[in-house]
């Protein structure tokens, strides 16, 4: 890993503060670390194009018939279902080509809608509000997380819940070899402290009900 304190860097794409520093240079790619929110970001000049992202996503196995994948999604679905009254209206944001999580939640009595900028790009789904939103293995792909989380806030009803699954970045020594970093479409890496900062900035309540799972709840309107 290499560090350079002389470079003038932009605002953090997660929290909007000017507290980025070069954290690492790996295979010619720069990664930044924010001192304010503790996010690690792939530098702007290395962000993948839409066509590069699409090609990579097509290699993913998101088949609803894959037992292993369904079990993996259960890490988020189980705690989410425990705290959701039924029926609720939800949005699977960044659902990918195979919306397996939406099928799990529909089977439990919830009405699910889908949005993905590549595979389910019907923007009319973003013209309404929802009781809950799921983002499984999605937020690490956000090129502009600050804007994305604010958009998600507008899509949530009063008291609504945003449920996130992503691998937390916890070990700096293992960052170079970390499988999550090695996916070229993973460009934003979060710690628990990062989500706490996002929640504070947006005005959400925040908890981590399980490993690599984050629940953000929008404040309920009084009266």
79-131, pLDDT tens digit by residue? 999 999 989 999 999 998 888 999 999 999 999 999 999 999 999 999 999 99
At 55, the pLDDT band (50, 70, 90 cuts) reads confident
C-alpha distances in Å from residue 197, one per residue of 14, 16, 38, 136, 145? 9, 11, 9, 20, 12
- The predicted model gives 74-78 an average pLDDT of 95
Which pLDDT tens digit goes with each residue over 153-183?
A: 999 999 999 999 999 999 999 999 999 999 9
State what percent of residues in the chain have pLDDT above 70.
93
Q: Tell me what pLDDT residue 128 has.
A: 97
**Mean pLDDT throughout 138-164?**
98
Mean pLDDT over all residues of the chain?
Answer: 93
Q: Provide, rounded to the nearest whole percent, the portion of the chain with pLDDT above 90.
A: 83
Structural domains of the chain, with CATH: 48-218 (3.40.50.150)
Coil/strand/helix, residue 162: strand
Our CA angle for 87, 148, 202, nearest 5°, is 80
Looking at per-residue confidence, does 54 or 66 come out higher? 54
């Amino acid at each position: 890993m290499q560090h350079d304190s002389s470079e003038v860097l932009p605002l953090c794409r997660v929290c909007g503060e000017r507290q980025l520093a070069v954290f690492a240079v790996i295979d010619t790619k720069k990664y930044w670390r924010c001192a304010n929110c503790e996010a690690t970001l792939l530098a702007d000049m290395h962000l993948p194009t839409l066509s590069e992202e699409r090609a990579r996503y097509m290699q993913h196995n998101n088949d609803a018939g894959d037992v292993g994948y369904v079990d993996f999604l259960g890490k988020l679905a189980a705690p989410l279902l425990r705290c959701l009254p039924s029926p609720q209206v939800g949005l699977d944001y960044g659902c990918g080509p195979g919306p397996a999580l939406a099928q799990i939640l529909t089977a439990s009595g919830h009405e699910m809608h889908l949005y993905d900028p590549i595979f389910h790009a019907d923007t009319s789904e973003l013209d309404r509000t929802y009781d809950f939103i799921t983002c499984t293995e999605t937020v690490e792909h956000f090129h502009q997380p600050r804007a994305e989380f604010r958009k998600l806030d507008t899509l949530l009803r009063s008291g609504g819940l945003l449920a996130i699954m992503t691998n937390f970045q916890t070990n700096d020594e293992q960052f170079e070899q970390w499988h999550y970093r090695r996916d070229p479409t993973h460009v934003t890496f979060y710690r628990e402290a990062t989500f706490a900062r996002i929640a504070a900035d947006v005005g959400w309540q925040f908890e981590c009900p399980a490993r690599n799972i984050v629940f953000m709840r929008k404040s309920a309107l009084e009266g």
